[in-house]
Amino acid sequence: MTIHREGYKTIAISALAFAVINLASFYFISAHEAWLSGLIFVVTLAVLLFLISFFRVPNRKKTTGDNLIICPADGKVVVIEEAVDEEYFKDKRLQVSIFMSPANVHQNLNAMSGEVAYSQYHKGKYLVAWHPKSSTENERHSVVLRNKHGEILVKQIAGALARRIVNYLQVGQKVEQSTEMGFIKFGSRVDVLLPPGTKVQVQLNQTVQGGVTVLAKWD
């Protein structure tokens, strides 16, 4: 396991705050209220460990395959339905949505190899990630990947807690399946818009792993 580069600054500031708070607690509180000083230590340590865990990048054997579309994120499948895409395709697509809780790995990966045909950031609201309108009204970054099989659109969507979406892709860039696409800080969601009739390999409420679980297959 490694720590994602997006977490370096946050973890460093948190570690400094942990040290300062507990040193102050030791000198000014522990002599009179040892239980309170102990509680402060436990709570601040729990927060620090949570942040370290949040920015973790586990070592995994990635799944690859020319005819496969791989889950771009860890989490739970919360939507599998037909939806109209107003942003890029302008027609009906098959939408598969993965909800990422604060406990999930938040690194996002490329669902397939190909060329980046579209990459666009959108400002927006911060509705809870499972809200039906979060796909179109929340802060989000949309990317379209294209290869010989067709095109898919992947949306990184901010949730109620998320305030920063990071995306590393640019139009015209060639990408490899299961390599890094971006990162979302704290609770969030990723939507994948597939061509109608695509063979989806996941089920509602299934827990999936980014870069590992097969989301769908091309014909």
Q: What pLDDT is attached to residue 152?
A: 98
Q: Tell me the average pLDDT of the chain.
A: 91
Same domain, 105 and 78: yes
113-136 per-position pLDDT tens digit: 999 999 999 987 666 655 555 566
Hey, which residues does 119 pair with through a beta bridge?
143
2-59 per-position pLDDT tens digit: 999 999 999 999 999 999 999 999 999 988 899 999 999 999 999 999 999 989 999 9
Same domain, 20 and 124: no
**pLDDT cut 70: percent of the chain above it:** 91
Q: What pLDDT is attached to residue 31?
A: 82
DSSP code, position 138: B
Of 32, 57, 82, at which residue does a domain stop?
Answer: 57
pLDDT bin (cut points 50, 70, 90) of residue 158 is: confident
Number of domains in the chain: 2
Alpha carbon 186 to chain centroid distance? 8
Same domain, 96 and 125: yes
Residue 128 located in a structural domain: yes
Q: Reply yes or no on whether the pLDDT at 188 is more than 90.
A: no
Of 38, 57, 76, at which residue does a domain stop?
Answer: 57
Q: What pLDDT is attached to residue 57?
A: 93
Q: What pLDDT is attached to residue 137?
A: 66
φ/ψ of 61, rounded to 5, equals -85, 110
Same domain, 27 and 121: no
pLDDT bin (cut points 50, 70, 90) of residue 111 is: very high
> Are the beta carbons of 114 and 217 closer than 8 angstroms?
no
pLDDT bin (cut points 50, 70, 90) of residue 103 is: confident
Residue 125 located in a structural domain: yes
Hey, which residues does 95 pair with through a beta bridge?
81, 193
| Active site positions, annotated | 188
Q: What is the mean pLDDT of residues 159-183?
A: 88
pTM as predicted: 0.87
Q: Reply yes or no on whether the pLDDT at 193 is more than 90.
A: yes
**What SS3 class is residue 39?**
helix
Q: How are beta strands 107-109 and 92-100 bridged, if at all?
A: unpaired
- Containing structural domain, residue 32: 2-57
d(CA 179, CA 9): 23
Specify which of 125-129, 154-158, 203-207 reaches the highest per-range mean pLDDT. 203-207
DSSP code, position 143: E
> Are the beta carbons of 57 and 4 closer than 8 angstroms?
yes
Q: Which uninterrupted H or E stretch holds 130?
A: none
Q: Reply yes or no on whether the pLDDT at 169 is more than 90.
A: yes
